[in-house]
Amino acid sequence: MSLKLTLEYDGAPFVGWQVQPNGPSVQGVLQEAIEKLCGSPVRVTGAGRTDAGVHARGQVASLEAPRHLPLSAWAAGLNAHLPLEIACVRAEEAPPGFDARRWARGKRYVYEILRSPVRSPLLRGRVWEIRRPLETESMRAAARALLGRHDFSAFRAADCPAKTTVREVRRLDIEMERVGPEAERIRLTIEATAFLKHMVRNIAGTLVEIGHGKRDPGSIDELLAARDRTRAGQTAPSHGLCLDEVFYLPGNADPRAEDAGED
């Protein structure tokens, strides 16, 4: 039985999604919980390979599950074996061969910033805390230039393994909410067909520099054309980032079947 698991997690205690030798990973802890639940080792595939410290509200994992365990037992059973930092929000049967990463049609990430002269103990580890004021209108103007299909080489990590650096950004919103007399919570919501390593964090870091007046909003076009990571802004801290949702075709259908039918 092919399973689709929707997961929520606090990324702070983990070295990232992927199993690594230098510490606990979300994938590794999840696989251990599955083995305890069903009695046999199972490998899971994640839709997004979130970095160390990155959170998730809608990560998706796929696996081939043994038939002896009913579908209704999966979410509650997993949560009984998972640490408090990880929760299985939903478990559902998927079409045969479902692959959370390869079948995804897009993802949405949210990056959160707290602009305040005073630190927030309650939001610590969930937002990028910035003391200086930000000009959000300049940030919005710059963000519009990132919409559409572009080569995002300037916004990928130096060790990004992607074979192609062209991506399509469908949405990039910047919302501001006043949370105090001198404080604002700023949310960057970005949707794309796929992302490069550190792409969202590098975009966030560059937009913050624009909000601080260090760069002109019109400089985005130049950065995209230059395709040079060293010319873009800093990489924003990982703890402000959250994988919000992964998109699939209706019924979690295989996108390769749809693509094969196109002229």
Selected catalytic residue, list 51, 99, 173, 221: 51
Helix or strand or coil: residue 220?
Answer: helix
Is-catalytic flag, 216? no
93: left (phi over 0), alpha (psi -120 to 50) or beta: beta
Question: Under a CB-based contact definition with an 8 Å cutoff, are residues 148 and 192 in contact?
Answer: no
Residue recorded with tokens 């305890």: 36
Buried b (16+ CB within 10 A) or exposed e, 220-258: beebbeebebeebbebbbbbbbbbbbbebeeebebeeee
Closest by CA to 220, choosing from 241, 203, 198, is 203
Query: Measured between alpha carbons, how far is 196 from 149 in angstroms, rounded to an integer?
Result: 13
Question: Under a CB-based contact definition with an 8 Å cutoff, are residues 221 and 197 in contact?
Answer: no
Most distant CA pair in the chain: distance in Å? 60
**Residues labelled as active-site residues:** 51
